[in-house]
Amino acid sequence: MIEFSEATAVLIATAIKTEREQYEAEVKAKFDREVAEELHRKRVREAAAVKWAEEQALATTPELIMGLLGELDVNQDVPDLIDGVVKQGTTVFVGYSGSGKTRLALQVGYCLLSGTRFLDAMHRPGQHVQQLGPEAKIGVLSYDMSLPLLANWINAFPEHDAPNRWMIVDAFTRGQPLLVPVMRAQMAKTMREANVEFVIVDSATASFPGDSENDATQVLNHYLDLQRFALNEVGAKGLLVIAHAGKASSTAIRGSSAAPGAVDSIMSVSFNEEDPLKIRRVASVKYREAIGQSAMAPGELTAPEADSGLIRWAVEAQPIDIEGDEPGAEFGAVD
C-alpha cells in the first residue's frame, strides 16, 4: 500500500475536487446551452406557426368588406352556379358506394361548360345555370376512379370538346399529390393558367391526409385545405367534393360531423338496395340561404341515356322519410 505524505494527499484531494468541479461546470454549461437551443427552437416554431396562420388567413381572405350598413351594397347576392344545387364556394355530393355520386358530379361540370340544365330540371323549368366562359375548363382530382373509366364517362357527354375542356389529375393509386409542395404548386399553376373555373375532388376520403376521419380538427382542416387549393390557389369559382356516407344515413358524411360546417351545399345521392331497378334519389341536405335562392326539390333519376350519357329526372318525388334518420327527417330538408 502506497502512503502519501499529508501535503501530497492534500494536493491530490484538491486536484480531484478541482477536476470534479470542472466536470460539473462543463455539464452545467452544456445543459444550459441545450436549454437555450431548445428554447430558441420552440420560439422559432411558435413564431413560424403564427406566421403560417397569418399567411393562410391572408390566402383565404382576399379582401375586407366593412362599413356602415347604408354604405354597403346589399342588393347583390352571389348567384348559384346551378340554382338550388351548386353554390359559388364548396358543394358536397354524399352517398354510399355505387350510388352515382361521381357521374352526377361530372354532369355538374358538363352543365357548367354547356349551359345544360342539371338533370334536365323538369321540376324547375326556370333553373339557371351560370355557364362558364368558352375558354373555361373543369379540373378533376381523381383519387377514386381509374382514368379510362373517367374518360369514358366524360366523353359520353354530347356536343362539347371534352379533350380540351377537362383537366385531369390522375391520382388513382398514385399517392397524395396535394401533399407534395412542388406537385401542388405545379397543379395550381397549370390549372390557373388553363383557366380552370370549377374543381371536382373524388373523393374526400381518398384525398384525406390524416389518420382518423373521426377527428374533427383533421376533417375540418382537410376541407379547408381543399377549398384553399381550389378557390384560392387555382382561383376557381366553385369546388365539388365527393364524399362517402356514414353507416347511419346516406345523407351524412362519413366520419366527423365537422365537414358540413365548412361547406355551402350538400346533396345526397341514394338508392334502395331492395329495389331491383336501383332507382337513384337526389335531395338537398344543406343549402346556405340567400335572397331569391332555394334548395333543389328532391326527385328520382333515370339511368344514364345511351345516346347522351346524361342522367335525368324520372319523376318529381314527394319528400321521403330517410331510413335510419331521426323521425320526421325528409329528403329536401334544409339546414
pLDDT at 322 exceeding the cut of 60: no
Q: Please, what's the largest Cα pairwise distance for the chain?
A: 114
**pLDDT 10s digits, 105-160:** 999 999 999 988 887 654 455 668 889 999 999 999 999 989 999 999 999 888 77
Which of the four pLDDT bands, split at 50, 70 and 90, describes residue 182?
very high
**Choice between 42 and 53, residue whose per-residue pLDDT is larger:** 42
Residue 310, φ and ψ in degrees, nearest 5: -90, 140
Tell me what pLDDT residue 170 has. 94
Quote the pTM value: 0.73
Q: Are 101 and 93 in contact (CB under 8 A)?
A: yes
| Residues paired with 253 in a beta bridge | 245
**pLDDT 10s digits, 231-261:** 999 999 999 999 998 887 878 888 888 888 8
Q: Are 257 and 305 in contact (CB under 8 A)?
A: no
Q: Are 176 and 166 in contact (CB under 8 A)?
A: no
Q: Are 266 and 284 in contact (CB under 8 A)?
A: yes
Residue 221 CA to residue 52 CA, distance in Å, equals: 14
Joined grid coordinates for residue 135: 375558354
Tell me what pLDDT residue 126 has. 60
Cell numbers 399529390 correspond to what residue? Answer: 177
Bond into 203 cis (ω within 30): yes
Which DSSP letter does residue 261 get?
A: G
Tell me what pLDDT residue 116 has. 85
Express as a percent the part of the chain with pLDDT over 90: 32
Measured CA to CA in angstroms, residue 136 lies from 133, 191, 194, 197, 308 at distances of 5, 10, 8, 6, 22
- The b/e string for 271-283 (b: 16+ C-beta within 10 A; e otherwise) is beeeeeeebbbbb
